[in-house]
Amino acid sequence: MDTRQKPLPLSDNIILTDSTPKPKLLDQVRGLLRVKHYSVRTERAYVFWIKRYIYFHQKRHPAEMGKDEVERFLSYLATTDKVAASAQSQALAALLFLYKQVLKVDLPWMQGIVRAKRPKRLPVVLTRDEVRRIFGQLEGTVGLFLRLLYGTGMRIHECVALRVTDLDFPRREIVVRQGNLLCAIAQMCSCTFALHARLEPWRQRRQKSVRSAIEAPRGT
């Protein structure tokens, strides 16, 4: 009796020879990423690289492949596709997650990967006077948004997702919520006054609404 575990079928129109109905592999990847609270962007990126890996090897099931196939795929990305080093690292992370977390296979240390080269360039930054002149031309929501990004170092999607409850004016701190549910604290910058002024009308409306609800006569 053959006790070996058969490969799980893939989803997204990748057809394998095994016709036994089982949970789809890519659906398992998505499900496990969500259980571990990975961000939506990470989920999409991991699924993308896993699908590319499968198509690169003529739709072979990952359970039938291993270290050599992973090395060939990652080396191809660097030598032929000329991807950036960060993209190659992300593809490696996706495949390691697939094998270790989903397929329960520990890949050996891979030394044969041709690494993508990181470009050597000096960062170009603005002087304080240039930043001051730019901010002088910005007003309203856009100006406040960019001041928050510049002063706290937040990413765009982190700043968009900010809530009023994330702001702690007495401590001059902002709670930054990550996709994986970890939290970081960012120090407020010089735009604290502008942010407080922007929220003041909202605070007054909320207090008025609360007072109205308290003073409203209750039904018998």
Mean pLDDT score of the chain: 79
Residue ranges of the domains in the chain?
A: 1-116, 128-215
Q: Radius of gyration (Cα) for the chain, nearest Å?
A: 25
In Å, what is the CA distance from 140 to each residue of 147, 195, 206? 11, 10, 22
Contacts of 164 (CB under 8 A, 6+ apart): 199, 202
For 153-178, the pLDDT digits (tens) are 888 888 888 887 777 777 777 777 76
Is domain 1-116 given the CATH code 1.10.150.130 in the classification?
yes
Contacts of 152 (CB under 8 A, 6+ apart): 159, 174, 176, 186, 187, 188, 189
Query: How far does CA 198 lie from the centroid of its chain?
Result: 29
Output the pTM of the full model. Answer: 0.56
- Region for residue 31 given its phi and psi (left: phi exceeds 0; alpha: psi -120 to 50; beta: otherwise): alpha
Is domain 128-215 given the CATH code 1.10.443.10 in the classification?
yes
For 61-82, the pLDDT digits (tens) are 999 998 889 999 999 998 888 8
